[in-house]
Amino acid sequence: MPEYGPGQGPGPKPITEEDLSAILGEQRFAVLATNKKNGHPHVSTVVYSWDPAERVVRVSTTAGRAKVAQLRGDPRAALHASSPDHLAFAVAEGTAELSEISEKPGDAAGLELLAMTPGFADPADERAFLKQMVKDRRLVIRLRVTRLYGTVLLAGRLGDLVGRKALFIAGNAVFTAASLLAGAAGGPGLLIAA
């Protein structure tokens, strides 16, 4: 295993656009950066969805949020998402556009917000969701991505032996499997047994 001195460690490794898209697609939480009037960045944690075919990040927000006002003044934005182990990240840069505010249950904005959810088994829940979007004055931020970039940090002997990309993919697979198991767990006993 490589040894690193104080303050040293493995350098970042470039990853492919496919890998970056996969990081964006696997996550639900990220940090959105917009620009304040004074030029300083404004960052906020958001729930988002990624459409790789359209290269669009969609963020649900409410009309009164600072990020909405900032994007009306300067539509440039970036979204930063990290892998579950924080050893890789992807940044999606682009120009944002804002949907209309949802004003009537089932309008275009409401349906776009609905499409961002995992879905509802009961149609009554879907109707309640659409009504809530109107009540909340929700809209969609669409970040049209013009640039993706990021890196991966993988160190140690295993990374040297099997390759960093293979280790990155295997690590994500293990995390996903553990997450699925944790979601299916009826209690901590099952997690401990696993």
* 87 vs 22, residue with greater confidence: 22
- For residue 46, what is the domain's CATH number? 2.30.110.10
The per-residue pLDDT for range 128-174, each reduced to its tens digit, is: 999 999 999 999 999 999 999 999 876 543 454 455 566 666 666 66
The sign of the torsion formed by the CA atoms of 174, 49, 15, 8 equals: negative
Task: Quote the CA–CA distance of 69 and 184 in Å, as a whole number.
Answer: 41
- Domain for residue 128, yes or no? no
- Domain for residue 126, yes or no? no
- Domain for residue 58, yes or no? yes
Tokens of 4: 């690193």
- Domain for residue 32, yes or no? yes
pTM over 0.85: no
The per-residue pLDDT for range 4-45, each reduced to its tens digit, is: 677 776 667 768 999 999 999 999 999 999 999 999 999 999
> What local confidence, expressed as pLDDT, does residue 150 receive?
94
The domain total for the chain is: 1
- Domain for residue 61, yes or no? yes
Q: In this structure, are residues 98 and 65 in contact, taking their beta carbons and an 8 Å threshold?
A: no
**How high does pLDDT run on average in the chain?**
85
Task: Quote the CA–CA distance of 66 and 33 in Å, as a whole number.
Answer: 11
The per-residue pLDDT for range 44-85, each reduced to its tens digit, is: 999 999 999 999 999 999 999 999 999 999 999 999 999 888
Backbone torsions φ then ψ of 60, nearest 5 degrees: -85, 130
With tokens 């198991």, the residue in question is 181
| Domain membership of residue 79 as a residue range | 13-101+137-154
Q: For 45-59, b where at least 16 C-beta lie within 10 A, e where not — what string? A: ebebbbeeeebbbbb
DSSP structure class, residue 194: -
What is the biggest distance separating any 2 CA atoms in the chain, rounded to whole angstroms?
Answer: 61
- Domain for residue 123, yes or no? no
